[in-house]
Structure 1
Amino acid sequence: MKYQLENHGGEFDYRSRSHNGWIIKENIHDYSEILYCEKGEGIAIINGQRIHLKENHFIWIPPNYVHRFDFPDGVVICAVFSKDFVPLFFKEQKGRNLVVKPLCADNINSIFKNLPHLKKDDHCLICAHLNLILHEVIKNSAFEDIPKSDGVLYQKIISYISNHYTEDISLGKIARMFGYNEKYLSHTLHHLTGIHFRQFLTSYRINYAKTLLINEPDSDMTTIALNCGFSATNTFYRAFRESVGMTPTEYKKGRLT
């Protein structure tokens, strides 16, 4: 699984880019995300749900939703941002799940086209854009209650992995720690997210690796691999290429130039 530099608790952290043809494997992070299809069409899979996203439509993805995108011929705009930009969303959510569905952007398409051009330190303008989009989301979407047992379990696992993914952890170890049967935990996690535990864990490690590649450019690959929780450099390289579609070195070069 994959994505940029999320998962690290930034305050008023925002980034947005336009992509001409975009395929991204399963990933998860603790930021909110917006995907707008400017031209063409493609497929988004959110927590195992397949969504056909057509031109001039968008989806709003809350934190810690597993998602993947397949837009080989489409032009999309993606924005990723920390929770403090949209506190009203979390007030409205009230511990429930947003039912993610494609929404028409006819009334606000100019807002989406501005997203990649906003300066990261212009917090007021970013807030204005995101909350105009949020208004459409809340007006046209539904929230559903989470079964208490599933919600509690999911939050336990999310919290533990997000705090310990750099360590030597396993599904069996987590199951024993929280008093669950390992097979039950594996099945439930897959049911809730659409992916398996190992993919889930690797996603957090790859996201952190991306942060280190950019923020610690003098660190060697072995150090980065070990600091992210990978047992060996070749395992790190293989997982990174499978997730991102390029080597860590290629990713670093592309982001720093």
Structure 2
Amino acid sequence: MKYHIENFNGTLDFRSKLRQNWWVELHIHEYSEILYCKSGSGFISVNGRNVPLGSGEFVWIPPNYVHQLSFQNSEVVCAVFSNDFIPLFFSALGERRLIVSPISADELTDVIGELYLLQRNQYLKISGVLNMIAEKVIEHSELEVSSFIDGVLFQKVVSYLSSHYIEEIKLSELAKLFGYNEKYLSHALHSLTGIHFSQLLAFYRIEHAKKLLSGNSQKSVTTVALESGFSAINTFHRAFLKHTGMTPLQYRHNNR
């Protein structure tokens, strides 16, 4: 199974593209995403659930949702954007979590279908369009209150992992840090993401290793492994191969 993680550097960023016959490996990111199927159909795996998406439908994927995309013979508009564009959306959610499900674009078809035409510096227009879509999402989506862990704590856990993944992190220590029983926290994270703690931690470590292996880096594979949080080179090789489908050296060769 493959994983990777992506994040923006800026606080206000917007990127959109029209894609065809699109497949994206399992990944997670801290920004929000809209996927609109202009034609054809496909599937999205979100936090361990399979969500079908047909022509004229869209989904809204909040930050820190583990997901994978698969579209064949399809045209899909993908827009990803900073959460600072949509503060009202998060205020409306409160302590609840959005259950990702397909929504008919209906009267918003033209607006959503042309997201990929918006320019990244059109901040007011982007904000207006996104909040219009967000209002429809809140109106037509099922919201749930997690029975295991609240959203604020989950964000703290993700934030901690993104800043400390190079260090040796144990679930027991993380549970103690945030005041939760280890089994309780493990169950909670799996319930919210569809993956286990070790896999979530691997997201960050492997992505860091991929960056170190890309470009003109001359660092040895052993150095990359150690600087990415792996204490043993064999463990790094197995994890990298499992998560990317290639060895570190193969990845380096393909990303020069």
TM-score (normalizing by structure 1): 0.79
Q: Report what 2:167 is aligned to.
A: 167
Match of 2:49 in 1: 49
The answer to whether the aligner puts 1:26 opposite 2:26 as a matched pair is: yes
Flag the 1:124–1:155 CA change in 2: closer, same or farther, 3 A.
closer
1:227–1:74 distance in 2 versus 1, CA, 3 Å: farther
Q: Give me the whole-angstrom Cα distance separating, in 2, the residues matched to 1:230 and 1:21.
A: 35
State the distance in 1 between where 2:194 and 2:145 align.
Answer: 19
Give the equivalent residue in structure 2 for 1:193.
193
- What is the alpha-carbon root mean square deviation over aligned residues? 3.1
Higher radius of gyration, 1 or 2: 2
Per-residue deviation, residues 19-62 of structure 1 (Å, max 9, x unmatched)? 32223333222111111112211111222222111111110011
CA distance in 2, matches of 1:245, 1:18: 26
Q: What is the correspondence of 1:70-109 to structure 2 with a 5 Å cutoff?
A: 70-109=70-109
Tell me: CA distance 1:22–1:220, structure 2 relative to 1, closer, same or farther (3 Å).
farther
The CA deviation at 1:230 is 4.2
Distance verdict in 2 for CA 1:228–1:137, change over 3 Å = same
| Structure 1 residues 1-257: aligned runs within 5 Å | 2=3, 5-6=6-7, 8=8, 10-147=10-147, 149-151=148-150, 154-178=154-178, 180-208=180-208, 217-220=215-218, 222=221, 226-231=226-231, 239=239, 242-243=242-243, 248-249=251-252, 252=255
Q: Larger relative CO (CA 8 A, sep 6+): 1 or 2?
A: 1
Shift of 1:65: 1.6
2:61 alignment partner AA = I
Stretch of structure 1 that moved more, 28-37 or 42-51: 42-51
Q: Report the CA distance shift for 1:208/1:36 in structure 2 as closer, same or farther (over 3 A).
A: farther
**Cα distance, 1:76–1:176 mapped onto 2, change above 3 Å:** same
Q: 1:160 to 1:187 in 2, by over 3 A?
A: same
The count of corresponding residues between Structure 1 and Structure 2 is: 249
Q: Report the CA distance shift for 1:25/1:231 in structure 2 as closer, same or farther (over 3 A).
A: farther
Give the Cα–Cα distance (whole angstroms) in 2 for the partners of residues 55 and 121 of structure 1.
Answer: 29
Query: Which residue identity does 1:86 align to in structure 2?
Result: I
Tell me the percent identity: 45
- Asked whether the equivalents of residues 11 and 82 of structure 1 are also in contact (C-alpha less than 8 Å), the reply is yes
The change in CA–CA distance for 1:27 and 1:5 in structure 2 (over 3 A counts) is closer
